[in-house]
Amino acid sequence: MYSSDPKVLAGSNTTEGRSTPAASAAPGLRRSLDRAAQIATYREVPRIRRVVSSSTYTPRAEFLAFSPPLIGEEEIDEVVDTLRSDWLTTGPKTRRFEQDFARYVGANDALALNSCTAGLHTALAALGIGPGDEVITTPMTFAATVNVIEHVGARPVLVDVESDTLNIDPAAIEQAISPRTRAIVAVHYSGHPADLDAIEELARENDLFVIEDAAHALPARYKDRIIGAGRNPTAFSFYATKNLTTGEGGMLTGSDEFLERARPFSLHGMTRDALSRYAKGGSWRYEILSPGFKYNMTDIQAAMGLCQLRKLECFDARRREIVEMYHDAFAGEDALELPVERHDVRHAWHLYVLRLRTDALRIGRDEFIDEMTARNIGTSVHFIPVHLHPYYRDRYGYDEQDFPVAVGNFERMLSLPLNPRLTSSDVGDVIEAVLDIVRSYRR
C-alpha cells in the first residue's frame, strides 16, 4: 500500500498528467522552490515511501490530528459576551479567572498572563535573578524554559534527567550547584511532577529559589498537594494544545509576597492596571516601579479560561481513560516502553510519551513516525533536548552526549494523540497503528 496523502505527493511535478503549481511556476519561483527543498529537513519535505503493514490492517480514512482543542458553545458564548462588553483587555473576567484558578489549585492568589513563558520570565525578574547568576534546569523541555534564563542575563546550567519520568534528576542538580547558583527551574515533564521534596531540600540547604514550570502539569498532584498550591513560583500554560486552553495564555502562582512583586512586572512595571484606572472609582495616577513587560492576559482569553476551568475535571477524567486504554493495549509488547506514574503523584497526562525499544525493531523512531503518518495518525516528539539546538550547543560548547539519559530517550520517543476529543474509535485506531508497525518491523 502506498500513501495517498497529498502532502506526501507535494514534491512531485505532475499528478495524473496534470501540471502542478510547482511545474507551471515562473523560472525564478521554480528555482526558489528547488532551493527551499534542498535546505529543508526531511520532516519538512515528506518522502514517498512504501508502507509495510500486515494483511489484516486497515488504516483510518481521515487524518487524526495530534492535539486539537476541545471548545464548546459555552466558550463561544462567553467570548461573545466579552466582545459585547466594555472590557476586551485585562478586566473583570481576567480577575475572576485568577480568583477561580487560585481556588482550584489551592493558592491564595494567581496572576494571569499571556503565556507560561511570560510567567517564567516574570518569576525570574521578580526574584532579582540576573547577570552573573546561574539557574539549573533540564534539557528535556521546550526551549522557552531556558530562553527566559537568557532573557534576564543569567546562565542556564543544564543537568540530566531521571530515566523513568524524564524529569530533572535531583542527584544531578546537587552536583551542578555552584556559588553562583540562584535558582532551580523544575519542569514537570509531560504532566508528571518532578521530585519536589528532594529539589526543595537542596534549595533550602543552598539558599536557592525553586521555580516550577507547570506548562504540562494541570491538574497534577505531588503527594498531598496540587501543583501550584505551594509557595514556589509556578507557571502554567494555556496554549492551544494544553489541558486547559485560552488559545494563548498562562498563569503564575506563588506566595503572597512573591505575587505582590511579580504583578507590576507583568504590565510595564505599573502600580495600576487598566481596571483599577478606568473602572468606576479608579484613579488615573500610577507609578512605574521597574522596566516591566507587556505580559497581561485579556478578558477575551479569560472568558475561554473560565469555561475551560469548569470542564477541567471532565477533561482530566477522559485523558486518564485514554491512558488506561493505551496501557492495557501496549503492556505486553516488548518493543515498547510505556510512560510511568509514580505511586506518590497524580499525573496530569498532558502527553503520552511512548519509547521504542529499538533493539526489538528494524526501524528507528523517525521511521516509526513516518509509518504512523502514513496510517493517518498524527504524532509529535517532546522534546528535542535543549543542548542539541544550535544556539545553546554553540554558545556553551555542549556535546551531544553531555546528557546521555535525555539524548538516549529522545532518540526513541514519540508522543501519541492524547486529548479529550478522542473517541474510543480514535484511540483504537492509534493502538492498531502502533501494534501493526511493531508487527511489521519486529526483528
Cell triple for 394: 554553540
Identify the CA nearest to 161 among candidates 181, 141, 135, 138. 138
Q: Give the separation between CA 125 and CA 382, rounded to whole angstroms.
A: 27
Phi then psi for residue 300, to 5 deg, are -65, -45
CA pair distance 153, 315, nearest whole angstrom:
39
What does the block give as the cell for 176?
551542578
Closest to 148 in 3D by CA, of 350, 295, 349, 348: 295
Q: Are 335 and 361 in contact (CB under 8 A)?
A: yes
Closest CA to 149 of 340, 381, 343, 386: 386
Provide the sign of the torsion angle of the four alpha carbons 391, 394, 396, 399, taken in this order: positive
- Which cell goes with 74? 459555552
68: number of Cβ within 10 Å: 14
Cα 88 from Cα 213, distance rounded (Å): 28
| Dmax (CA) of the chain | 74
Q: Which residues are catalytic?
A: 242
Cα 30 to Cα 20: distance, rounded to the nearest angstrom: 11
List the one residue out of 265, 261, 283 whose CA is nearest residue 274: 283
C-beta separation of 403 from 158 below 8 A: yes
Question: Distance between CA 313 and CA 347 in Å, rounded?
Answer: 13
Give me 415's grid cell. Answer: 508522543
Answer for the pair 113, 250: CB distance below 8 angstroms, yes or no: yes
